[in-house]
């Protein structure tokens, strides 16, 4: 599993971000925009990608490949820079969106699945238990869109081609409730499995934050 998921030391992350950034300087900006599903605004001496990240507008200049908040123009924190760089670096042509799949169905996901479930599904279950109203309110607070799946589910659009589904199945006298994080089956075309794990962990953190 990625060394970045639960690691507070940002140096390895920043080093990897620099490597990805150097690669992007060699890429064609028009192709990048097409593969990532972002808008490309051409300015004098610059090309600026525009897209939403966690529901907020972001700009990403080809002059430095730093992601900035559209309103404040302040650079995003290192972990978010890395996720966006991974997305631009990894995105390739993908088929139409099809089905929701579990983390274990991602490339190499089976190998890391136990750890991923430990800091996503298990945390959600321990926190929400049978308080489904609270679960739904938290998802709505994070701009999740209700989807007809399981006993209740919310779709979160993280990047233009990356969405995450948070779903629950109600418990009863015999079985406890179950919560799970799912990904669209095109995720492998746009992020490495490490990146999907980090985004899943981030989403759980947002849902559990008091």
Label residue 160 exposed, middle or buried (CB < 10 Å: 0-12, 13-18, 19+): middle
- Which tens digit of pLDDT belongs to each residue from 107-142? 999 999 999 999 999 999 999 999 999 999 999 999
- Which tens digit of pLDDT belongs to each residue from 38-67? 999 998 889 999 999 999 999 999 999 999
| Predicted TM-score of the model (pTM) | 0.91
193-208 and 78-90 helices cross at what angle (nearest 10)? 140
Q: Which helix (H) or strand (E) holds 60?
A: strand 56-61
- Which tens digit of pLDDT belongs to each residue from 145-187? 999 999 999 999 999 999 999 999 998 888 899 999 999 999 9
Exposure class string for 27-52: b at 16+ Cβ within 10 A, else e: eeeeebbebbebebeeeeeebbbebe
Q: Strand order of the sheet with strand 178-184?
A: 100-102, 178-184, 162-169, 152-159, 145-147
CA triple 88-89-95, angle to 5 deg: 70
Closest CA to 170 of 180, 178, 161: 178
- Which tens digit of pLDDT belongs to each residue from 67-112? 999 999 999 999 999 999 999 999 997 777 779 999 999 999 999 9
CB 156 within 8 Å of CB 163: yes
The DSSP bridge partners found for residue 183 are: 101, 164
């Amino acid at each position: 599993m990625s060394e970045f998921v639960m690691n507070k030391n940002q140096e390895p992350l920043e080093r990897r971000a620099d490597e990805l950034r150097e690669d992007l300087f060699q890429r064609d900006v028009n192709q990048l925009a097409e593969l990532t599903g972002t808008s490309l605004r051409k300015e004098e001496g610059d090309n600026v990608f525009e897209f939403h990240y966690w529901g907020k507008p972001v700009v990403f200049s080809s002059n430095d490949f730093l992601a900035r908040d559209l309103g404040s123009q302040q650079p995003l924190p290192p972990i978010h820079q890395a996720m966006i760089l991974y997305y631009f670096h990894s995105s390739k042509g993908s088929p139409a969106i099809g089905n929701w799949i579990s983390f274990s169905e991602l490339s190499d996901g089976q190998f890391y699945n136990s750890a991923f479930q430990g800091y996503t599904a298990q945390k959600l279950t321990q926190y929400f238990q049978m308080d489904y109203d609270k679960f739904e309110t938290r998802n709505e607070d994070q701009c999740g869109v209700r989807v007809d799946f399981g006993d209740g589910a919310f779709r979160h659009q993280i990047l233009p081609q990356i969405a995450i589904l948070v779903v629950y199945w109600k418990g009863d006298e015999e079985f406890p409730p179950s919560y799970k994080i799912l990904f669209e089956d095109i995720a492998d075309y746009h992020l490495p499995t490490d990146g999907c794990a980090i985004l899943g962990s981030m989403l759980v953190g947002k849902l559990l934050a008091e």
